[in-house]
Homo-oligomer: A and B are copies of this chain.
């Protein structure tokens, strides 16, 4: 058995209170301090966080629910978040929702059972109900990347609609008019980015035929199938805008397999998938989110909430985003 605070009481002859106080940074007489330190050293004593948690009602653990852990987007976020939290002594309990809303609900309940101090979520669901159980128990929740309508919940995200509009304006600036969009049709980011797409198209006065609009699941397959369908169209679009990591990946896979070449036959502009910019020819144009900042802000907010030093009302942080230019968009007026 590991040594407990009682063992060091025996060893030093001091009382539990004194020892506990020292451990938690309180002042004790120098000679007692030495005694305690010596005993700790000798017995390899380490605080039992479980016992401490029972009385403080804190676990120093934060739960994170991600829509799909295999997504590189989530992996990158986890990397940054995990490092920040661990520096502060917090553990990260991770739950993979596998793109399934029911699993997501269960995950939140599971985390609550684990008595996490706070919950970070990159959600699958587009309504807040899966987090109700957390709210009831006053467990702080911070949404990352995907906010939820009318949720009144802390959230860190990017200016989705704006950046999508800018990206499409870039395409339009290269004189594209027949632009298709592949996006997720259900969740927040997909919808917002689609709105941004339409903003730009409407402002330019361009129509979007129904078969140029490809809403669907947030997954590689949807990107793949949609791009395939677009390429088979009699009146092919001259440019395609893909609005997330997975969809970009799938669409590029379909393009690579096809007989068409980019940007000669078709121009593409993707989202988040920085990896691809180094992998395929030509270098892709890509909207890239500031992952580290996203992670840092989210960690910062959840810690503030846990320590109770944040204002009452929901904090919403919207980060600016930039577009990485490449060679995957051809100017139709050149050549």
Q: Which residues of A contact B (CB under 8 A)?
A: 2, 44, 46-51, 53-54, 59, 61, 68-72, 74-76, 78-79, 82-83, 86, 91-96, 98, 107, 109-115, 133, 136-137, 249, 252-253, 256-257, 275, 278-281
CB neighbours (8 Å) of A72 from chain B are 70, 72, 75
By Cβ-Cβ distance, the 3 closest A-B pairs, closest first, are A70-B75, A50-B53, A82-B96
CB neighbours (8 Å) of A49 from chain B are 113-115
Bound complex: CA A4 to CA B168 (Å):
55
Contact (A114, B95) CB under 8 Å given A54-B51, A253-B278, A256-B279:
no
Inter-chain contact B70/A82, CB cutoff 8 Å: no
**A59 CB → nearest B CB, Å:** 6
**A295 CB → nearest B CB, Å:** 12
Inter-chain contact B94/A78, CB cutoff 8 Å: yes
Q: Which of B44, B53, B94 contacts A82 (CB 8 A)?
A: B94
When C-beta atoms are compared, the residue in chain B nearest to A89 turns out to be B110
Inter-chain contact A79/B69, CB cutoff 8 Å: yes
Bound complex: CA A133 to CA B44 (Å):
9
**A56 CB → nearest B CB, Å:** 10
Inter-chain contact A94/B96, CB cutoff 8 Å: no
Bound complex: CA A49 to CA B111 (Å):
10
Q: Which of B44, B78, B112, B279 contacts A279 (CB 8 A)?
A: B279
Supply 23 A–B pairs (Cβ within 8 Å), ascending by A. Answer: A44-B136, A49-B114, A50-B53, A50-B59, A50-B115, A51-B54, A68-B79, A69-B79, A72-B72, A78-B94, A82-B95, A86-B110, A91-B93, A91-B111, A92-B93, A93-B93, A93-B94, A94-B94, A249-B275, A249-B279, A256-B279, A257-B281, A279-B280
